[in-house]
Chain A
Amino acid sequence: MWKSPKSILLAGTVIAGVIGGAQAQDIAAGETVFAKCKACHMVGEDAKNRVGPVLNGIVGRAVGSVEGFKYSPAMTRAGADGLVWDEASLASYLHDPKGYLKGNKMAFAGLKKDEDVVNVIAYLASLDADGKAAVPGKQSAAPAIDATQTATAEVAAPSAGTTGRLLGLGRTATPEEIAAWDTDVRPDGVGLPEGSGTVAHGMEIYDERCATCHGDFGEAVGRWPVLAGGQGTLQAERPEKTIGSYWPYLSTVFDYVHRAMPFGDARSLGNDDVYALTAYLLYLNDIVDDEEFELSKDNFTSIRLPNEENFFDDDREQEPFYADRSEPCMTDCKPGAAAITMHAAVLDVTPEDGGEENASGGGID
């Protein structure tokens, strides 16, 4: 018989452990426990019956049902009586193989620790009938949890819910959907659409749709962005950072005009119009000088902006004061009393103070 009162009681305690969360299931720990089983049992996509049957997909499987394995009469009979390997029956069996199912031929004495039982079942449950991970991500041991803000001791151990396992959520994006949103362009030309446009055509569009903010020649109206000029000013007291003087890549112009311009009516320009406007902005910046010049997907990457070489990657850590992590001075750090060298009140540009005419600019746009 496979259901003695004793074994039911035993199963009950183990299940209580699982449900009560006293022992969180740990698939990775279960895989370690499974090392004890490997002498006789195989799992995985290439698993074969050995001394014991293949254990792929065992959780939920009828007892004694693996094809080609020669079970003991006791095991075969239990299966015929309807016993299924679920978490409860496996727990009881693994605790006391001989006691739970008398007459079966498994030579293993049983797992003594409840947590080992729970974890090895969790591991077996993570494998489907083909030996693949039914719960992907389980093989990568512990979940990648950011300890930085959960570092306080009281915070609970991560549950299975915080692992990066595949949940099968979301659906496949269609090519049409990707095309609708993926308009970005890179300096190497990746993302450029088919099309072309001339400086002359760009000027027509610009005068109609851009000049009210950016000025007739890209000089800007008010504080709207200046688009042209400024070359040679990057070391001046008031640098003028324009497409021609500062921007490193022409692709940025195309991408940005396409995604965000004209202001107030974004994404309303066709590809040919964007090529034409980009060509006209090259013209306003004296990078091309022929009104008949036509910019297209084919010649786009041949054009380089003058300031491309003057960008370098973040190297703040090389700065002497930045790199100096020594203990700062605490007493008598400077001679004499402090004297004011500059007042904000003199500039008088704070909104509540009323004056705004002397502002030296912030350039946050």
Chain B
Amino acid sequence: MTSNARPGASRRAVLKGGLMGAAALAGGAAASRAAASESVITEIQDWNRYPGDGVDARPYGTPSPFEAHVVRKNVPWLTSDTISSINFTPLHELDGIITPSGLCFERHHSGVAEIDPASHRLMIHGLVEKPLVFTMADLKRFPRENRVYFLECAANTGMEWRGAQLNGCQFTHGMLHCLMYTGVRLKHLLDQAGVKTEGKWLLAEGADASGMSRSIPLDKAMDDCLVAFGMNGEALRPEQGYPIRLVVPGWEGNMWVKWLRRLEIGDQPWQHREETSKYTDLMANGKARRFTFEMDVKSVITNPSPQAPILHGRGPLVLSGLAWSGKGRISRVDVTTDGGRNWTTARLDGPSLPKALHRFYHEFDWDGSELFLQSRAIDEHGFVQPTKDQLRSVRGANSIYHNNGIQTWHVNSDGVIENVEIS
């Protein structure tokens, strides 16, 4: 049996009791600090007395059983089948800017390909001097780079175009993660093959059963794209494209082709399914934008939020969230508690890296009154996160993709939170 089963139940009950007791105390008007003695202190607990697991119990570590609720979640009605579907990163349970590997949202079009790296090949061909095939061993002999980038699906927040729909930032904003990638510059690989001068576009194709394919402008491919084999210091997870995926910094997640097996150079885009019937933005007039690659400046308050209500009552509150821009660094995040009447600049904490998530905090004393929480990000180029109404005024409500509008959370006097739209 795993360690989950043995001590879990009883310890959980004790811990929950303890937490609720603490919450009740704090909620009680912050007045009396002279509390009754707590049994977790006055009584010897199991873990104070009996040894726990040895070093062989968990050769690959997993989170505490008390964190079992921190998982990716699917929204079943969105798609027909989990094999061609998406799940969502639990943003409200995370902090900092790095997403744990096992919590990064998944989007597959034909399930997770399980590929033996010994059987994986990367081919470069088309308008090149010399078509090449690389093994994984070949790729690991190129100079490596480590880069932290966010990946956001262009459809993130897409279910909110017509109005507030999903109650939780996991579902409204969870097609998002941020990792440290280890890989080689795509440019270095292309240089080995020698791109001909007439080459202007790159087709990237995956080895999975969907054969995911996207056209990428050669300028981007030669700029900051990586062929990555590592995430957060270890090999890519299968669901993130093991053994290799394309990293297209700042651009929509669909272009970051997983299980990457083929790169073809051409003189024009291929107009494949994912860049015509999908990932094109339908406007109110019936026309559609295409090649909307870059992800716009955006932010969301992750705590408190509908899945993470305020349980501690009045007094000191830590508001926290994420901000990002496909154009570079975030220079500032403003937050409001009155629905955008008055704004305060939040505190950015942690690394500020281009095209990576930024973590912001705003600490204040909650007086128990109703709040309308919003955040507004500004990137280093001065682009300001728009309101959803601004987006709809130009694009209508059928765009699906690239919804970077300001999110509103309504907090009632009990600390319960709801996704709303406001006047």
- Known: A241-B282, A311-B280. Contact between A364 and B213, CB under 8 A? no
Which of B147, B188, B210 is the one whose CB lies under 8 Å from A149? B147
**Chain B residues with Cβ under 8 A from A344's Cβ?**
164-167, 306, 418-420
The answer to whether A364 and B78 have CB atoms under 8 Å apart is yes
Q: In the complex the two chains form, what is the Cα distance from A330 to B124 in whole Å?
A: 51
The answer to whether A181 and B291 have CB atoms under 8 Å apart is no
Which of A171, A243, A311, A320 is the one whose CB lies under 8 Å from B290? A311
Annotate B183-211 by CB proximity to A: 1 below 8 A, 0 otherwise. Answer: 00101100110000000000101000111
Binds B, one of A21-29, A125-133, A354-362: A354-362
The answer to whether A339 and B287 have CB atoms under 8 Å apart is no
The answer to whether A343 and B164 have CB atoms under 8 Å apart is yes
Which of A167, A186, A260, A325 is the one whose CB lies under 8 Å from B270? A186
Q: In the complex the two chains form, what is the Cα distance from A187 to B275 in whole Å?
A: 13
Q: In the complex the two chains form, what is the Cα distance from A312 to B286 in whole Å?
A: 11
**A48 interface contact, C-beta 8 A:** no
The answer to whether A260 and B209 have CB atoms under 8 Å apart is yes
Annotate B383-418 by CB proximity to A: 1 below 8 A, 0 otherwise. Answer: 110100011011100101010000000100000001
Which of B84, B185, B393, B418 is the one whose CB lies under 8 Å from A263? B84
Q: In the complex the two chains form, what is the Cα distance from A188 to B386 in whole Å?
A: 39
The answer to whether B277 and A342 have CB atoms under 8 Å apart is no
**A246 interface contact, C-beta 8 A:** yes
**B158 interface contact, C-beta 8 A:** yes
The answer to whether B224 and A187 have CB atoms under 8 Å apart is no
- A191: min CB distance to chain B, Å: 8
- B357: min CB distance to chain A, Å: 13
Annotate A173-184 by CB proximity to B: 1 below 8 A, 0 otherwise. Answer: 100011001101
Annotate A155-178 by CB proximity to B: 1 below 8 A, 0 otherwise. Answer: 000000111101101111100011
The answer to whether B338 and A164 have CB atoms under 8 Å apart is no
The interface on chain A, measured as residues whose beta carbon lies within 8 A of the other chain's beta carbons, has a size of 92
CB nearest neighbor in B for A350: B167
**Chain B residues with Cβ under 8 A from A186's Cβ?**
266, 268, 270-271
**B86 interface contact, C-beta 8 A:** yes
**Chain A residues with Cβ under 8 A from B354's Cβ?**
148-149
The answer to whether A314 and B289 have CB atoms under 8 Å apart is yes
The answer to whether B134 and A350 have CB atoms under 8 Å apart is no
CB nearest neighbor in B for A181: B262
**A107 interface contact, C-beta 8 A:** no
**B261 interface contact, C-beta 8 A:** yes
- B264: min CB distance to chain A, Å: 7
Which of A267, A314, A339 is the one whose CB lies under 8 Å from B423? A339
The answer to whether A363 and B400 have CB atoms under 8 Å apart is yes
The answer to whether A184 and B203 have CB atoms under 8 Å apart is yes
The answer to whether B75 and A351 have CB atoms under 8 Å apart is yes
| Contact-residue size bin, chain B (C-beta under 8 Å from the other chain) | 35 or more
The answer to whether B276 and A252 have CB atoms under 8 Å apart is yes
Which of A164, A249, A342 is the one whose CB lies under 8 Å from B276? A249
**Chain B residues with Cβ under 8 A from A178's Cβ?**
123, 125, 131
**Chain B residues with Cβ under 8 A from A241's Cβ?**
277, 282
**Chain B residues with Cβ under 8 A from A338's Cβ?**
338-341, 372, 422-423
Q: In the complex the two chains form, what is the Cα distance from A271 to B278 in whole Å?
A: 24
The answer to whether B80 and A365 have CB atoms under 8 Å apart is yes
**Chain B residues with Cβ under 8 A from A239's Cβ?**
282, 286, 398
The answer to whether B341 and A223 have CB atoms under 8 Å apart is no
The answer to whether A328 and B271 have CB atoms under 8 Å apart is no
The answer to whether B386 and A322 have CB atoms under 8 Å apart is yes
Annotate A79-114 by CB proximity to B: 1 below 8 A, 0 otherwise. Answer: 000000000000000000000000000000000000
Which of A259, A340, A360, A364 is the one whose CB lies under 8 Å from B86? A364
- Known: A172-B132, A235-B284. Contact between A330 and B290, CB under 8 A? no
A316-B292, A344-B418 given. 19 additional CB < 8 A pairs? A144-B187, A149-B354, A170-B124, A182-B125, A184-B272, A186-B271, A223-B79, A224-B80, A239-B398, A311-B287, A319-B394, A322-B383, A325-B382, A340-B421, A340-B422, A344-B420, A356-B77, A364-B400, A365-B278
A-B contact pairs, 16 of them (CB 8 A): A169-B192, A177-B133, A184-B213, A239-B282, A259-B213, A314-B291, A316-B292, A321-B394, A330-B343, A338-B423, A344-B164, A344-B166, A344-B306, A361-B78, A362-B155, A365-B84
